[in-house]
Amino acid sequence: MATTLAKADDGQRTEVSHAARIEHISKSFDGPAGRQLVLDDISLDVAPGEFVTLLGASGCGKSTLLNLVAGLDRPSAGTITTDGRPALMFQEHALFPWLTAGKNIELALKLRGVPKSERRERAEELLELVRLKGAHRKRVHELSGGMRQRVALARALAQESKLLLMDEPFAALDAITRDVLHDELTRIWRETRLSVLFVTHNVREAVRLAQRVVLLSSRPGRIAREWRVDIPHPRRIEDTAVAELSVEITEELRGEIRRHGQH
């Protein structure tokens, strides 16, 4: 396994061999019925350059866990370390509609401290990476849903993080557009060697994209099972191997839902 560097809380740099390390994480929230345990004692490592999908029924805590890794919330127990600050991409593109596609990306570059003289060129490079060459001046309302998600991906890549967190980024897209973006994401991941932690409730999407699929149980979320996906790329949703593994994982997911009485 490759060795990377992570910045500790005290500012010192220590050698680690993971892009993200989740150790015995639990998370509770106050609710009408009192304190509710959402995540229970989860431990998970994401290796440098690894693509991991986090799968589970609605409400099992997938997005909560992603938010904890992103630093948007604090765990009730346990520790999380990452190789630098992660980049986060949501289901909604969250682009600023008053800015062009390119300016949305340039804003991320500005916040990272990239000099103004370099931002336009770098934004153009990122748009080309996501196959949107020439879209720098397009407004958000001029872009299709798939194009908006490409811009959102380019903006996330502008942060030059080593870990990309993706919270069901293609769930709102039609099947054909989603299929195309699966190809694009796989290409970009293989070109950049980013580490990716990808949340989804779509089993075939999880199998198509990932090197490893991690299944969470229904509340409280615990790691129920993991699968190593050794299917060679390029993969297609309709591939026999993808379909067969998807059936196996779906049966396990159904069992988890039945065990916890979720509907």
**pLDDT tens string 64-117:** 999 999 999 999 999 999 999 999 998 887 899 999 999 999 999 999 999 999
Q: Determine the Cα–Cα distance for residues 42 and 78; give it in Å rounded to an integer.
A: 9
Predicted TM-score (pTM) of this structure: 0.89
Which residues sit opposite 5 in a β-bridge? 15
The answer to whether the CB of 17 falls within 8 A of the CB of 43 is no
What's the pLDDT score for residue 3?
A: 29
Question: What are the boundaries of each domain within the chain?
Answer: 4-86+164-260, 95-160
Question: What is the helix (H) or strand (E) element at residue 39, kind and residue range?
Answer: strand 34-46
Q: Determine the Cα–Cα distance for residues 66 and 210; give it in Å rounded to an integer.
A: 16
**Positions in the chain whose pLDDT score sits under 70:** 1-16, 261-263
CATH of domain 4-86+164-260: 3.40.50.300
Q: DSSP letter for 100, please.
A: B
The answer to whether the CB of 222 falls within 8 A of the CB of 200 is no
From 83, 68, 235, select the one nearest 167 (Cα to Cα): 68
